[in-house]
Amino acid sequence: MTNKYKYFVANWKMFGDIRTINSINSVIRLSKSKIFINSKIIYCPPYTLLNSFVQKLKNTKIEVGAQNCHESKDPGPFTGFVNSKMIKNLKCKYVIIGHSENRTNGDTDNQINKKIQSALKNDLTVIFCIGEKIKEKKEKKTKRVLSGQLNKGLKNIKNIKNIIIAYEPIWSIGSGLIPKNIELLDNILFIKNVLKKKFKYKKTKVLYGGSVNPKNIKDLRKINQIDGFLIGGASQKPNKFIDIIKKTFK
């Protein structure tokens, strides 16, 4: 049981079309209920649905974010990309940066750092993803990897208040596996400590992501130091998403 304020970020990845948008009606209803007092729901649909989500959620407390952005703060000849200014223009408040699926596709720490700088300049709140590979975990390199990603991704960043960290162990994403509570707590505290030392700021929110579902939320919610969840697959099924939110506070 927790009364702590929690984030529930729905990362729809490359799923969803204009017909799926009505599936979130039940989540909108939930957002008007008492349980919502302690929670912030953020939808991050694909670019093609961003504007529809913004319009649909206009008079609700649910917010909208993008899943990535280009690092250039100015318009330019970058076929297929969208920058943070364009995202802000749509009245989105958030952008996910550094997701492992984009790191795998070539995003470097340096590029991620530029994306974060440009998103902050455009007044977006950044959901900055970090996490280790299974090989790194087995070799006990998790903390080295996490601090490296934090230090490189947040190089020369001043405005830590507009950054939320999402700890997503790569081996946990879409696999049904989650870390043991004791390991997860240790890594969450480690991340918070690195940030505290680096920025002299204690309040950065750290979310957990990776196979969060209505079953394992009963274990995950016991870790009070987790400030919320970044949810992939289960967030596309409104019943599961609602179940996760309700069970977090039960």
Which of 31, 125, 187, 211 touches ligand 13P by CB under 6 A?
211
Q: Give the Cβ contact number of residue 74 at 10 Å.
A: 8
Which one among 119, 168, 206, 208 touches ligand 13P, defined by CB under 6 A? 168
The only residue of 42, 146, 173, 184 in contact with ligand 13P, by rule CB under 6 A: 173
- The yes or no reply on residue 232 touching ligand 13P (CB under 6 A) is yes
Non-local (6+) Cβ contacts of 126 within 8 A are: 94, 95, 96, 97, 116, 119, 120, 162, 163, 164
Question: How far apart, in whole angstroms, are the C-alpha atoms of residue 7 and residue 10?
Answer: 10
Query: Segment near ligand 13P (CB under 6 A), from 80-88, 185-193, 196-204, 210-218?
Result: 210-218
- Residues 65 and 43: beta-carbon distance below 8 Å: yes
63 is catalytic: no
Both tokens of residue 201? 């700021």
In the complex, the smallest distance separating the C-beta of residue 197 from ligand 13P, rounded to whole angstroms, is 26
- 51-59, 116-124, 209-217, 240-248 -> range binding ligand 13P (CB under 6 A): 209-217
Active site residue 70: no
Distances (CA, A) of 6 to 25, 28, 96, 170: 21, 17, 17, 22
For the annotated catalytic residues, the residue numbers are 99, 168
Residues lying near ligand 13P in the complex (CB under 6 A): 11, 99, 168, 173-174, 209-212, 230-234
